[in-house]
Amino acid sequence: MMIGRTLAHFRILEKLGSGGMGDVYLAEDTRLGRRVAVKVLPAGFESDPERIRRFAREAQAASALNHPNVATIYEICEADGIHCIAMEYVNGQTLGAKIGEVPLRVAEVLDIASQIADALDAAHAHGITHRDIKPGNIMVTPRGQIKVLDFGLAKTGPWIWRLCRSRRSCRRPWRRRSTFERGRTDRSLSRSRTTSALDTFCCSSITVSI
C-alpha cells in the first residue's frame, strides 16, 4: 500500500494511474511544499536490471528537455528499495478523455497538434524519439496547454538527423515521405510511427468535429 507512505521527501497522497512502465501517484514534496507526480517502478521489478535501466532512461530522456509542452522531471531516486521518478504534476485530463467528451473544433485540433509537434521537434533535436505518442500519454490543462508524458519507450542517440539531408528538411512534412522511403530502418520506422500517431489524432479528431 503506497498511499500515506513517504518516499525520500515525497509523501504519497493518491493514485493517479497505472501503465506498463509504472504506477503514478500524486504526492507532496515536503521540502518545497508543492504537489508533484511520482512514478514508481512496478512491484516485482525492483531487482530486474533491465527494467531499472529502462526506468532510469525514461527520466534521463525527459530531463534532457526544457520545453513548455513536456512535463518537467525533478529527480530520480530510490527509497526503501523502491525506484521512483518525481515529475511535474499536470492538472488536467488526458487527450483521450478530452476527445471522448465533446467534438473538438478544427482550430482546437490544430492548436493541440501544433503543441505536440513542437514538443516532438524539440525531442528530436536532442536525439530523442518518444515512440509511444498516444492520447493517453498527453495531458491537456484547463488553459489548453499540452504536456507530453511517459518517455518510457524513448530511444536516444544522434541518428535522427542523419535520416535527413538537413534539420530543415526534417521539419518539412511534405518531404518526410521521400526521406523515409530511402531505406526504412527500425529507427526510421520509430520516428515515422510518431508522425503517424500525430496524423491519426488530427484526422480522427477533425472527423469527429465534422
Helical (H) or strand (E) element with 113: helix 106-125
Choice among 23, 48, 80, 132 that is catalytic: 132
**Are 59 and 50 within 8 A, CB to CB?**
no
29 is catalytic: no
E strand residue ranges, the chain: 6-7, 10-19, 22-29, 34-40, 73-79, 82-88, 93-94, 128-129, 138-140, 146-148, 155-156
| Cα 145 to the center of its chain, rounded Å | 14
**Distance of alpha carbon 67 from alpha carbon 119, whole angstroms:** 7
**Distance of alpha carbon 27 from alpha carbon 86, whole angstroms:** 9
Residue with cell 499540452: 146
Q: What angle, rounded to 10 degrees, do the helices at 186-209 and 106-125 form?
A: 170
Q: Active-site residues: which are they?
A: 132
